[in-house]
Amino acid sequence: MKVVIIIPTYNEKENTQRMIKALSKIVPIVKDHTLEVLYVDDSSPDGTAGVVESEMKKYPWLHLLSGSPKKGLGVAYARGMAYAMKQLSADYLMEFDSDFQHPPRDIPRMVNEIDHGYDYIIASRYVPGGSVPANWTIDRKAVSLVGNLIARIGLLIPQVHDCTGGFKLSRVKGFMDEFDFDTLLSKKFAYKIHLLAYMVVTKKAKIKEVPFSFENRIVGNSKYSTNEMKESLKVILLFQLKNPSIIKFFKFGVVGGVGFLVNLFGLRFFNGVYQQFSWPIGLVNFVANATAAEISIISNFIFNNLWTFSKEKITNPVQYISKFFAFNFSSIIGGILVPSFIIGVGTQIFGDQYREVFLILALFGFTVPFNWFVYNKFIWGKKNLK
Ligand code: GDD
Ligand code: MN
């Protein structure tokens, strides 16, 4: 496989001189794969590009993209990645810093993971064996940890332990070659969050986290600013607003909420209707709620089929009826029997004043996840797609 290590630089002359030297010792020792290095320099005033240019005479594996104005790390990577894929025919793209905070000695360990079939190899500070610099203050550590946690929760990817690092290896075929760089959600450092979300959430890449020690920058200055945090939040939000699973879950919530209102008002309506029969009030409400609940189940089924699961829509009449019965069955279990049981047991133990508490617990703790699972897996599961 051909791995292109992309190194964006802005005023990194001193680091670059040393880095190319360090890389010249790494490139030849990786035997099973071909390593090439692509510097992407945004017209650094200190003359970083000149250093790369003169070293290129010695090293055929060294490439340079230069002369562009400084527009941000995301823009630099977009350019570098497109070039690496099209002009250098990369099979894997590595994101790498120029300032030795990502130790070059870890490159072979990352590249070796390709042989185990991984699509996305993440150098991780937050798995056993990984670390951040020991001299980081508590504040700095906390900011990094919290930022990470927000990304993991916001993108719903607890399986990734280091979401904000910048040392990664991504498969091109079927992954990065299908990414539309025009849609990149950030021109700055937060582009990383978008690529991570794309690889993990959209592409369901096979991931490997390789522990590594993030080191201190020795020379030059960091280009990171706290503004990048806000930018990362923006990327998470924009990504999720377009995430088909999130949109689906939102529709499922709306349909469920409407179903609840149908049940609530239906109960009042049918209470009025059945009052004319001179039944005891308990029976009136029992039948009224059963009627209203069934109507809400029917409305849930119809609207979920038309809207939430429009892509998996059931149209075959025989299937429609059998799925409707399955839906009814699961609604009775998930929406009536189990919540009633939870409320019954809960109030028996803790007292009647907790009735609503247990209702909410039952609905959000059980019914919502249960329905979401059953709908996705069984009612509108993939097997329906013919
Ligand atoms: N071409 C170009 N254009 N390069 C840039 C630009 C830019 O606008 N901004 C930064 N760079 C280059 C730097 O020269 C360096 O090689 C690399 O991008 C990372 O920039 P640093 O300034 O060293 O950032 P950092 O150390 O604060 O951030 C690193 O650690 C973070 C995790 O703590 C990066 O790896 C981040 O991606 C990572 O999130
Ligand atoms: Mn750095």
| Structural domain includes residue 384 | no
Residues of the chain with pLDDT under 70: 383-386
Give tens-digit pLDDT for 279-337: 999 899 889 989 999 999 999 999 999 999 999 999 999 999 999 999 999 999 998 89
The finding on whether 2 has its CB within 6 A of some atom of ligand 1 is no
The per-residue pLDDT for 386 is 45
Ion ligand 2 — residues with CB under 5 Å?
Answer: 99, 101, 217
Residue owning the nearest CA to atom 33 of ligand 1 = 165
262 Cβ closer than 6 Å to some ligand 1 atom: no
Residue 314 and residue 189 share a domain = no
Number of domains in the chain: 2
d(CA 344, CA 182): 55
Taking residue 213's Cβ as centre, other Cβ atoms within 10 Å add up to 16
Q: How far apart are CA 95 and CA 317, in angstroms?
A: 52
Write the residue with the smallest CA distance to atom 37 of ligand 1. Answer: 166
Q: What is the pLDDT of residue 19?
A: 98
Angular region, 104: left φ>0, alpha ψ -120 to 50, beta rest? alpha
Judge whether 83 and 176 are in contact, CB under 8 Å.
no
Whether residues 310 and 163 fall in one domain: no
Residue 304's identity, in one-letter code, is: N
Q: Do 235 and 137 belong to one domain?
A: yes
Asked if residue 259 and residue 214 are part of one domain, the reply reads no
- Same domain membership, residue 293 and residue 173: no
Q: How many residues does the chain have?
A: 386
Query: Could you tell me where the beta strands, DSSP code E, fall in the chain?
Result: 2-9, 34-41, 62-65, 92-95, 120-124, 168-171, 207-211
| Domain identity same for 26 and 82 | yes
Residues 203 and 63 in one domain: yes
Q: How many CB atoms lie within 10 A of CB 31?
A: 7
Q: What is the CATH number of the domain that holds 174?
A: 3.90.550.10
Which residue CA neighbors atom 12 of ligand 1 most closely? 9
55 ligand 1 Cβ < 6 A: no
Query: Which two structure tokens, joined as six digits, stand for 17?
Result: 């001189």
Range of the domain at 116: 2-241
Q: Establish if 186 belongs to a structural domain.
A: yes
Question: Could you tell me if 185 and 289 lie in one domain?
Answer: no
Is residue 385 situated within a structural domain? no
* Domain boundary, last residue among 211, 241, 271: 241
pLDDT at 228: 86
| Residues paired with residue 313 on neighbouring β-strands, in sequence order | none
- Which of 210, 241, 272 is at the close of a domain? 241
Q: Quick: pLDDT tens for 35-69.
A: 999 999 999 999 999 999 999 999 999 999 999 99
Ligand nearest to the CA of 196: 1
SS3 for 81-110 is: HHHHHHCCCCCEEEECCCCCCCCHHHHHHH
Same domain, yes or no: 196 and 323: no
